[in-house]
A and B are shown apart, each in its own frame.
Chain A
């Protein structure tokens, strides 16, 4: 009889927690050094931050008490957070942005319900929501609400409004630009190419300056555009060029046979474009469009340079207030947290969409 060899257990250093640590952190020798270095770097960055933000921090609402602590005074954020959210929007009307937010959030919730997705009434509600949000925040017209001028808009609200408006208006413009750029009519094509390349070649700040200083010169003498509107025009102009390039990528990604099939069954240009080309092309470019929206959201911070008080500028506005003078660090961490959460979640969403479409 052959002797049976008893199974040996795998070596301890290759499996389990110990094996993982050995292979991922300590082997070979220089990896161990790198681990120590990285650990030290993380520790030396985290330690002062934790000390400042948690251990030595206070959440008291009284600035004189807060001065006794060496760390952060989070009471400043507690005290000022409505200002961070809506800027100098009048205090007695602050419920209105909240209602607007509620409308958008409830629409998002409804969209999350699988049964409602793709129904006509939901599309209609989404289509009407920008008008509703504008009417509630701005007031006036037939609503009977007191008018709150755009001059009073600020904070996170202004940042989100600027980004959404830019996306909303840039989208149709960019579709037209992309179609124009891939058309074979020389005048239209060259106009679209010139517009896209001109805008993509210059910094956003020069476009914003143009919208705020030069645009009023181009308009009739008796016409006045307010500051927020001018910034919106600038950002929309800027992003429609970038978006157009993305959409053009989608148009090029479409097989030639789609165009030929549409031609073969006798469709006209607009029928072909609206029913065959765009639905497929736009589907491909949704993930890059979400990335584009992240770009818009980050770049709205530049409107501070032309004098609007967005989420970033609120940090300066609130800390120049004598009550909480010079609490810039707290304001920055708070503002950065907002930007980061918004942008990070959007970028995760775009990655998710990319995976979803790639698997189809």
Chain B
């Protein structure tokens, strides 16, 4: 005992790992603070030397530059409060209905409750918004006299647009390429594997330049546009499509479609119930189609045409009106989609191959149809392997969309770069960029983590 105490006393304090850890961390913290302070001092000195102010006040200044693509930006109005109120009322109502039903009928299950909640929300809120909140949201468009904030928001909207579309298309394309690589057909599988090898091993910027400067430059000029009956016009300046314009009948028409979708959900549930009760599923396809056609048609006939189309027309040197996809947008979307689809294809393929062959054989032994083997046995298990790496590919699309700056698509980074050049507020702009991209990354990871948790293997 005394020996032990003796030993303990002899160990100097700097030998104690805990004290050491604290000393290390203290030094590290001090160093970091010193670096931060020096950088702060230097920045102040540099900014003063260059005559640049600091702070975010410049964001209110007039931008004065032109942006090629200006999607409408939603601005919340006073009526939005009514919308929030409607939402809260809807939530409480659904809760109350669920509680009431449960009291009166013990056969109501948890999943039924959520159905009622959805119906209440879907049913009550649009109606309330329709009558109360007609001024809840207005849309503004960026013009040259708008502020820098509006310019940045416009750029952000463009980034979001290309990211969402890129995620959807690259997943679909990747799925097809993955299935192609797994196909027993030798030629198809070779074709798809070369598609993957070609796209994976070329820089994405090179691919964007390829689509923008080489492929899209082969398109005809405005005068010689490819014109398919005025519905689709394609030339060097972009792709033009007719745009739907909402008329008085638009709201009832959309409501009818919503109601039809809810109806289809019930038809589906009934079919499952019948399958459990009698062993044969109820009819789904015919009643669904009938519902989907009948309700909107009824709305159309009673309230008049819901939409008219605005066609693009040649005015001066260019087409105006309709939906217009600029070549920059097209090149960026196609380039990102093709590049990322190669990675997605590999992820999906390895996910499907990772499901053990015994699963497939067992499913076949149960006499499941081939499509059911895929849909009910293989894919749900493959999804667990596929989802985590897919998350990073979606993040890659969001981040790579910033390469838009190289081909002149006005995305968030591109617009920010213009503002940086104009105002010289480098620290603030780079700070805004990083903050916004970090938030996008966090949002996508959160969403995918939620999905991942949902499909995770539940172990008993």
Chain A residues packing against B (C-beta within 8 Å): 23-25, 31, 34-35, 38-39, 41-42, 184-188, 191, 198, 200-206, 209-210, 213-214, 216-221, 294, 298-299, 301-302, 304-305, 312, 315, 328-329, 332, 335-336, 339-340, 343-344, 347
Check A221/B403 contact, CB under 8 A, given A298-B202, A332-B210, A347-B200.
no
Q: Do residues A42 and B402 form an inter-chain contact, with CB atoms below 8 A?
A: no
Q: Do residues B206 and A34 form an inter-chain contact, with CB atoms below 8 A?
A: no
Q: Do residues B206 and A203 form an inter-chain contact, with CB atoms below 8 A?
A: no
| Distance in angstroms between the alpha carbons of A298 and B396 in the assembled complex | 14
The one of B28, B420, B430 in contact with A191, judged by C-beta atoms closer than 8 angstroms, is B28
Q: Tell me the nearest residue of chain B to A30, going by C-beta.
A: B185
The one of A23, A188, A209 in contact with B25, judged by C-beta atoms closer than 8 angstroms, is A188
| Distance in angstroms between the alpha carbons of A312 and B213 in the assembled complex | 13
CB distance from B431 to the nearest CB of A (A): 9
| Distance in angstroms between the alpha carbons of A45 and B307 in the assembled complex | 41
Of residues 159 through 180 on chain B, the ones whose CB sits less than 8 Å from some CB of chain A are none
The one of B186, B209, B399, B417 in contact with A202, judged by C-beta atoms closer than 8 angstroms, is B399
Residues on B with beta carbons closer than 8 Å to the beta carbon of A186: 25
Q: Do residues B438 and A336 form an inter-chain contact, with CB atoms below 8 A?
A: no
CB distance from A158 to the nearest CB of B (A): 14
Q: Do residues B426 and A214 form an inter-chain contact, with CB atoms below 8 A?
A: yes
Q: Tell me the nearest residue of chain B to A23, going by C-beta.
A: B184
5 CB contacts below 8 A, A to B, read: A34-B185, A34-B188, A206-B402, A301-B206, A332-B210
CB distance from B307 to the nearest CB of A (A): 36
The answer to the question of B42 belonging to the interface, with a C-beta cut-off of 8 Å to chain A, is yes
Q: Do residues A344 and B186 form an inter-chain contact, with CB atoms below 8 A?
A: no
Q: Tell me the nearest residue of chain B to A184, going by C-beta.
A: B21
Of residues 401 through 460 on chain B, the ones whose CB sits less than 8 Å from some CB of chain A are 402-403, 405-406, 413, 417, 420, 426-427, 430, 433-434, 437-438, 441-442
| Distance in angstroms between the alpha carbons of A271 and B395 in the assembled complex | 38
Q: Do residues A339 and B201 form an inter-chain contact, with CB atoms below 8 A?
A: yes
| Distance in angstroms between the alpha carbons of A25 and B187 in the assembled complex | 7
The answer to the question of B49 belonging to the interface, with a C-beta cut-off of 8 Å to chain A, is yes
The answer to the question of B47 belonging to the interface, with a C-beta cut-off of 8 Å to chain A, is yes
Q: Do residues A203 and B413 form an inter-chain contact, with CB atoms below 8 A?
A: yes
CB distance from B67 to the nearest CB of A (A): 19
The answer to the question of B245 belonging to the interface, with a C-beta cut-off of 8 Å to chain A, is no
| Distance in angstroms between the alpha carbons of A191 and B200 in the assembled complex | 33
Check A210/B430 contact, CB under 8 A, given A187-B25, A203-B437.
yes
Q: Do residues A312 and B200 form an inter-chain contact, with CB atoms below 8 A?
A: no
Main secondary structure of the interface of A (DSSP, over half): helix
Q: Do residues A209 and B28 form an inter-chain contact, with CB atoms below 8 A?
A: no
Residues on A with beta carbons closer than 8 Å to the beta carbon of B442: 201
| Distance in angstroms between the alpha carbons of A315 and B442 in the assembled complex | 37
| Distance in angstroms between the alpha carbons of A249 and B437 in the assembled complex | 25
The answer to the question of B191 belonging to the interface, with a C-beta cut-off of 8 Å to chain A, is yes
Residues on A with beta carbons closer than 8 Å to the beta carbon of B201: 294, 298, 339-340, 343-344, 347
Return the CB mask of B381-399 against A: 1 if under 8 Å, else 0. Answer: 0000000000000010001
| Distance in angstroms between the alpha carbons of A221 and B201 in the assembled complex | 41
Q: Do residues A38 and B188 form an inter-chain contact, with CB atoms below 8 A?
A: yes
Residues on B with beta carbons closer than 8 Å to the beta carbon of A205: 402-403, 405, 413
CB distance from B187 to the nearest CB of A (A): 4
Of residues 16 through 45 on chain B, the ones whose CB sits less than 8 Å from some CB of chain A are 21, 24-25, 28-29, 32, 39, 42-43, 45
Q: Tell me the nearest residue of chain A to B32, going by C-beta.
A: A191
Check A198/B438 contact, CB under 8 A, given A35-B187, A38-B187, A221-B42.
yes
Q: A38-B185, A214-B430 are in contact. List 17 more A-B contacts (CB 8 A).
A: A24-B185, A34-B188, A38-B191, A187-B25, A188-B24, A200-B441, A201-B437, A203-B437, A205-B413, A209-B430, A219-B42, A301-B203, A305-B406, A312-B203, A312-B205, A343-B202, A347-B200
| Distance in angstroms between the alpha carbons of A221 and B214 in the assembled complex | 44
Q: Tell me the nearest residue of chain B to A335, going by C-beta.
A: B206
Q: Tell me the nearest residue of chain A to B426, going by C-beta.
A: A213
Closest A-B pairs by Cβ, 9 of them: A343-B201, A201-B441, A203-B399, A187-B25, A24-B186, A301-B203, A298-B203, A203-B402, A218-B39
| Distance in angstroms between the alpha carbons of A305 and B402 in the assembled complex | 11
Residues on B with beta carbons closer than 8 Å to the beta carbon of A203: 399-400, 402-403, 413, 437
Residues on A with beta carbons closer than 8 Å to the beta carbon of B184: 23-24, 31
Residues on B with beta carbons closer than 8 Å to the beta carbon of A301: 203, 205-206
Residues on B with beta carbons closer than 8 Å to the beta carbon of A328: 213-214
Q: Do residues A304 and B214 form an inter-chain contact, with CB atoms below 8 A?
A: no
Residues on B with beta carbons closer than 8 Å to the beta carbon of A38: 185, 187-188, 191
CB distance from A290 to the nearest CB of B (A): 13
The answer to the question of B183 belonging to the interface, with a C-beta cut-off of 8 Å to chain A, is yes
Residues on B with beta carbons closer than 8 Å to the beta carbon of A347: 200-201
Residues on B with beta carbons closer than 8 Å to the beta carbon of A214: 426-427, 430
Q: Tell me the nearest residue of chain B to A328, going by C-beta.
A: B213
Residues on B with beta carbons closer than 8 Å to the beta carbon of A218: 39, 42-43
| Distance in angstroms between the alpha carbons of A216 and B197 in the assembled complex | 40
The answer to the question of B204 belonging to the interface, with a C-beta cut-off of 8 Å to chain A, is yes
Give the residue among B32, B203, B204 with the most A Cβ atoms within 10 A. Answer: B203
CB distance from B389 to the nearest CB of A (A): 13
Check A217/B42 contact, CB under 8 A, given A203-B399, A205-B413, A298-B204.
yes
Q: Tell me the nearest residue of chain B to A220, going by C-beta.
A: B42
The answer to the question of B198 belonging to the interface, with a C-beta cut-off of 8 Å to chain A, is yes
The answer to the question of B280 belonging to the interface, with a C-beta cut-off of 8 Å to chain A, is no
Give the residue among A23, A31, A38 with the most B Cβ atoms within 10 A. Answer: A38
CB distance from B180 to the nearest CB of A (A): 9
The answer to the question of B134 belonging to the interface, with a C-beta cut-off of 8 Å to chain A, is no
Q: Tell me the nearest residue of chain A to B432, going by C-beta.
A: A206
Of residues 200 through 258 on chain B, the ones whose CB sits less than 8 Å from some CB of chain A are 200-206, 209-210, 213-214
The one of A187, A206, A332 in contact with B437, judged by C-beta atoms closer than 8 angstroms, is A206
Q: Tell me the nearest residue of chain A to B424, going by C-beta.
A: A213
Residues on B with beta carbons closer than 8 Å to the beta carbon of A31: 184-185
Check A332/B402 contact, CB under 8 A, given A34-B183, A206-B434.
no
Check A221/B45 contact, CB under 8 A, given A24-B186, A41-B191.
yes
Q: Tell me the nearest residue of chain A to B198, going by C-beta.
A: A340
The answer to the question of B46 belonging to the interface, with a C-beta cut-off of 8 Å to chain A, is yes
Check A202/B433 contact, CB under 8 A, given A31-B184, A34-B185.
yes
| Distance in angstroms between the alpha carbons of A60 and B214 in the assembled complex | 23
| Distance in angstroms between the alpha carbons of A35 and B185 in the assembled complex | 7
CB distance from B201 to the nearest CB of A (A): 4
Residues on B with beta carbons closer than 8 Å to the beta carbon of A298: 201-204
Q: Do residues A202 and B46 form an inter-chain contact, with CB atoms below 8 A?
A: no
CB distance from A76 to the nearest CB of B (A): 15
Residues on B with beta carbons closer than 8 Å to the beta carbon of A213: 420, 426, 430
Residues on B with beta carbons closer than 8 Å to the beta carbon of A344: 197, 201
CB distance from A30 to the nearest CB of B (A): 9
| Distance in angstroms between the alpha carbons of A220 and B46 in the assembled complex | 8
Q: Do residues B427 and A217 form an inter-chain contact, with CB atoms below 8 A?
A: yes
| Distance in angstroms between the alpha carbons of A148 and B206 in the assembled complex | 28
Residues on A with beta carbons closer than 8 Å to the beta carbon of B46: 216-217, 221
Give the residue among A202, A332, A336 with the most B Cβ atoms within 10 A. Answer: A202
Check A185/B25 contact, CB under 8 A, given A191-B32, A332-B209, A332-B214.
yes
Residues on B with beta carbons closer than 8 Å to the beta carbon of A335: 206
| Distance in angstroms between the alpha carbons of A200 and B442 in the assembled complex | 11
Residues on A with beta carbons closer than 8 Å to the beta carbon of B405: 205, 305
Q: Tell me the nearest residue of chain B to A204, going by C-beta.
A: B399
